[in-house]
Amino acid sequence: MNKILIALALFTATFSYAQERKIDGIVAVVGDEIITESDINDAENYARSEGQTVTDKCSFVETMMKEKIILYKAKLDTLIVVGKDEVSREAETRLDGYRNYFGSDQNVLTNFKFKTMGELKSTIETMIRNQIYTQRKMADITKNVDVSPEYLKEFYKTHEAEFPFLNEEIEYAQIFMYPKLADNHKQELIGRLNTIKKQIEEGASFADMAKKYSQDPGSAENGGLILNVRRGQMVKEFDAVAFGLEEGQISEPFETEYGYHIVHLEKRRGQIIDLRHILLMSVPNRDEIRAAMKELENVKADIKAEKITFDQATLKHSDDKYTKYNGGLLSNQQTGDNRFEKIKLPTKILYNLSGLGKGDLSEVFEDKENNRIVVRLLKIVDVIPSHKMNLGTDYNRIKKFAQKTKENEIIEKWVEAQIPTTFITVQDGYKKCNFSVDWLQTGEKTGK
């Protein structure tokens, strides 16, 4: 299911290139934290994969030295506590994600090039522990940072020439509906699952049938296998059925937002279960899509006739759980506000908003959301013409930028202040780097 794939993406984003590797050379030591040549090479390779131009390794070395000094001091700070349980729980969550995706512990080990799950878990725990220490120390360093109106005005005045011209932006809201399956279509899917279930009960392998029939992209290739499922991990309908089964039992067909399933409970360990499932997705046919289009067109007509407001219609009719409670207004994850650069909108969205002004409604149109067919109605909430970024129009964006800049400046000053009291050594080959601070102010440090 999409939920499984999204969760795995979050896991792998923080540990996507785990490798067994030897320490092939120490580049720097900060306190008792070590930076190796492999660390630098990984950072360089990742930057290149993101399209960045890399001219030398010095910037990577300095960035890591700053991170290490924060980590080192965080571990010395008795007010910062990172519990074993919270680290272990997070590590298990990530391991569960890998198991679900790759199908078995052995597949996980092969992918990440570790010999044992113990070694892999230990590596993940170290990474998580260091992340938490660093985040908490940085939060402590910047906890009193505040951007007053006076500071913001001065910040803008100082940096005014640096602020860019912005293309036309819009704020827009939506109502979307997933087309509903007709009863005969639902019964067809349930009948197919009952046939599959009967074949399994007569001796067919659940795993083989899942590989052949399941439409879940996250588990079908692994025979429908999902390991180490905890309560609350799946959607509530799936949870209720799966945790109500006995070991070896196969459920009756049941419905979730993704479609229709049958589940086989393989193993139970307290509140953790291993299972296999087969999913037949709810893919609407043309008649069902036309019916949804008609329904949403009637909603649009009621809005235009002022029988209901757009906000009320969103709350009543929209299937988008993320926006239905705020009038359908979409948020821009990149900027943290509700504005979108118009020319960068998805093609279908842009096409259906073309020629519309503030307050206008689009036509109802067919689209996709989360790999599912939807019918969508859009409203332009506001139009922000092309302009040079300024406090009057872009106050919140400039404030966030000023806040982040101020926090970074404070962290930089804090890091520099820690250097005289921290043991630091840098490999000869990197001492020629033009670092932004003097890491070896009086030669290599010898005290802590």
Q: What integer pLDDT is reported at residue 24 of this predicted model?
A: 61
Read off the pLDDT of each residue in 192-197 and give the average, rounded to a whole number: 97
Report, as an integer, the average pLDDT of 313-328: 95
- For the chain, the structural domain boundaries read 2-147+407-430, 165-180+285-388, 183-281
* Amino acid at the residue 168: E
pLDDT confidence of residue 43: 87
Kind plus residue range of the DSSP H or E element containing 411: helix 391-418
Q: Which fold has domain 165-180+285-388?
A: Chitinase A; domain 3 (3.10.50)
C-alpha of 74 from chain center? 26
Average pLDDT over residues 362-377: 94
Q: Under a CB-based contact definition with an 8 Å cutoff, are residues 422 and 69 in contact?
A: yes
The domains spanning 165-180+285-388 and 183-281 adopt the same CATH topology: yes
Give the rounded percent of residues in the chain with a pLDDT score beyond 90.
72
Q: How far apart are CA 414 and CA 403, in angstroms?
A: 16
Q: How confident is the model at residue 13 (pLDDT cuts 50, 70, 90)?
A: very low
For 42-75, write each residue's pLDDT tens digit: 888 888 887 888 788 899 999 999 999 999 999 9
How is 305-325 classified by DSSP, letter by letter? Answer: TTSS-HHHHHHHH---TTTGG
Q: Identify the CA nearest to 206 among candidates 149, 262, 129.
A: 262
Give me the pLDDT at residue 16, please.
42
Which of the 8 DSSP states describes residue 425?
A: E
Q: What is the DSSP letter of 345?
A: S
Distances from the Cα of 358 to the Cα of 162, 299, 397, angstroms:
30, 19, 22
Q: Find the mean pLDDT for residues 94-107.
A: 80
Neighbours of 401 (CB within 10 A): 18
**What are 433-442's contacts with CB under 8 Å, separation 24+?**
433/56, 433/58, 433/61, 433/62, 434/58, 435/58, 435/62, 436/62, 436/412, 437/62, 437/412, 439/62, 439/65
Fold of 2-147+407-430: Triger factor/SurA peptide-binding fold (1.10.4030)
Give the per-residue pLDDT at 444: 55
Single-letter residue type at 244: G
Q: Give the CA distances from residue 30 to residues 24, 25, 36, in Å, rounded to whole numbers and listed in that order.
A: 18, 15, 12
Angle at 8 (CA atoms; ends 131, 275), nearest 5 degrees: 125
The percentage of residues in the chain with a pLDDT greater than 70, rounded to a whole number, is 93
Pick the CATH number of 183-281 from 3.20.20.370, 3.40.50.150, 3.40.50.9100, 3.10.50.40: 3.10.50.40
Q: Is pLDDT at 5 greater than 70 in this prediction?
A: no
* Residues 6 or more apart whose Cβ sits within 8 Å of residue 96: 227, 228, 230
Return the SS3 of 375. strand
- pLDDT tens-place string over residues 79-96: 999 999 899 889 888 888
Residues 249-270: b if buried by 16+ CB within 10 A, e if exposed:
ebbebbebbbbbbbbbbbeeee
pTM over 0.85: no
- How many of the other CB atoms lie within 10 Å of CB of 109? 18
